[in-house]
Amino acid sequence: MTLLLRIAVFAAALFAPQALADVQPFHPYLNSEKKHLLLLGYTWQKADVEVSAQRDPFSEVSLDLDDLGTDDTYNSWLLEYRYRINENWGLVAGAFTFEVDGNRTAQRDFNFDGKEFEAGVALDTSLDVDTYIVDVMYTAYRSDRSEVLVGGGLHMFDFNAEVTGRAFVDELEGSLTNASDDILAPLPNLRAQGFYAFTPRLAGAATLGWLSASVGDFDGDFLFLHARLFYRFQGGFGVSAGYQITDIDLEQDKSNGKNEYNIAFDGPTVQLSYAF
């Protein structure tokens, strides 16, 4: 086969995946008759967090998990759903969360959401980050063993941080200061997925999500990577184990200041899956 002919064959396979519809898939994941894939799992996450909620006339002060007195690890659930619309198009939706709380004595003066907290007050804090994903995917390449999808959609970030400070005088509570900040940010994203079957039961997959966009009063950067190994049982059931990395930088301009969340978390994952 000449080089030109090989290039033509490769291009046809890359840009016309529907031509492979008659090829018997090596792995049931690639079978278009299995339109639905549901995955439910668990992840152990370690986080690096900096948050600020600056309000005029205060200057911006960033707080990390040590300032807030919270742990830097959290065990969380994962939910993912895939629907094959046809040979070329599909829909992917997912959700995962990060939630920590804690308490400590403030080591320095700071402000949050327009409230002042002095060194020495007792702090009760909580931080929640929920992420929701909806993407439309196109099959750019498919063979009997592998598949590559590209697409995009929306990432919804729901951030909530709350700080309560309690000052005591001779073991009696002298004052109470409470501040909270809540952001719901929908931002567009690009997404790519790859799948390769080593055997009819064992396969590997990787998902990459990325965005860098300004929408309204939000300015955000987001990077998501999830690599997994899948093992298929009988009857459409399966199990996967992998590693997930998430990096979120989000800034919101407000009429009286700005909010900023810089959060990176990563950790191993396990999931149960069912295809039908």
| pLDDT score, position 115 | 94
Whether residue 2 lies inside any domain: the answer is no
**Does residue 33 surpass a pLDDT of 80?**
no
The Cα 240–Cα 41 span in angstroms is 9
| pLDDT score, position 215 | 83
Whether residue 9 lies inside any domain: the answer is no
| pLDDT score, position 28 | 78
Examine residue 17 and say whether the peptide bond preceding it is cis (omega within 30 degrees of 0): no
Confidence of residue 9 (pLDDT cuts 50, 70, 90): very low
Whether residue 4 lies inside any domain: the answer is no
The Cα 68–Cα 130 span in angstroms is 19
Please tell me the total count of domains within the chain: 1
The whole domain housing 265 covers: 23-275
| pLDDT score, position 11 | 43
Whether residue 126 lies inside any domain: the answer is yes
**Does residue 109 surpass a pLDDT of 90?**
yes
**Does residue 246 surpass a pLDDT of 70?**
yes
Percent of the chain whose predicted confidence (pLDDT) is above 70: 88
**Does residue 19 surpass a pLDDT of 60?**
no
| pLDDT score, position 167 | 83
Mean pLDDT confidence for 132-159: 93
Instruction: Read off the pTM.
Output: 0.84
**Does residue 149 surpass a pLDDT of 70?**
yes
| pLDDT score, position 23 | 54
Reported as a single tens digit per residue, the pLDDT across 167-190 is 876 665 556 889 998 888 888 899
Q: Name which of 4-8, 145-149, 240-244 the model is least confident about.
A: 4-8
Whether residue 10 lies inside any domain: the answer is no
Whether residue 55 lies inside any domain: the answer is yes
| pLDDT score, position 5 | 42
The structure tokens listed for 186 are 């929908």
Mean pLDDT confidence for 247-273: 94
CATH number of the domain where residue 168 is located: 2.40.128.90
Percent of the chain whose predicted confidence (pLDDT) is above 90: 62
**Does residue 72 surpass a pLDDT of 80?**
yes
Q: What is the 3-state secondary structure (H, E, C) of the chain?
A: CCHHHHHHHHHHHHHCHHHHCCCCCCCHHHCCCCCEEEEEEEEEEEEEEEEEEEECCCCCCCEEHHHHCECCEEEEEEEEEEEECCCCEEEEEEEEEEEEEEEEECCCCEEECCEEECCCCEEEEEEEEEEEEEEEEEEEEECCCEEEEEEEEEEEEEEEEEEEEEEEECCEEEEEEEEEEEEEEEEEEEEEEEEEECCCCEEEEEEEEEEEEEECCEEEEEEEEEEEEEEECHHHEEEEEEEEEEEEEEEEEECCEEEEEEEEEEEEEEEEEEEC
Whether residue 48 lies inside any domain: the answer is yes
